[in-house]
Structure 1
Amino acid sequence: MTEPSHVTAARESYDTVAADYARLVKEPAELDPVSRAMLATFAELVRPPHPGPVADLGCGPGKVTAHLAALGVPVFGVDVSPRMVELARTAYPELRFAVGSMTALDIGSGELGGILAYYATHHTPPQWLPTVFAEFHRTLAPGGVLMLAGHVGDDEHLRPTHAYGGHPVSYEWYLLPPDRIAELLHGAGLVVTARTVQEPEEGARRQTGTFLAYKPR
Structure 2
Amino acid sequence: MLLFDLDGTLIDSTEAIITSFKHTFKQLDFDFKGKDEDIKDLIGYPLDIMYKDLGVDEEQVWDFVDAYKEKYKDISKEKTLLLDNVKETLKIASSFARLSIVTTKTAKYTKPLLEHLDILDYFEFITGREDVENPKPHPEPILKTLDLMNYDETKHKVWMIGDTKLDLICANSAGVNCVGVLCGYANEDSLKEYSGFIVQDSLDAVNLIKDITNPSL
TM-score by length of 1: 0.43
Of structures 1 and 2, the one scoring higher in RCO (CA 8 A, sep 6+) is: 2
Max Rg structure? 2
Report which of the two has the higher share of strand.
1
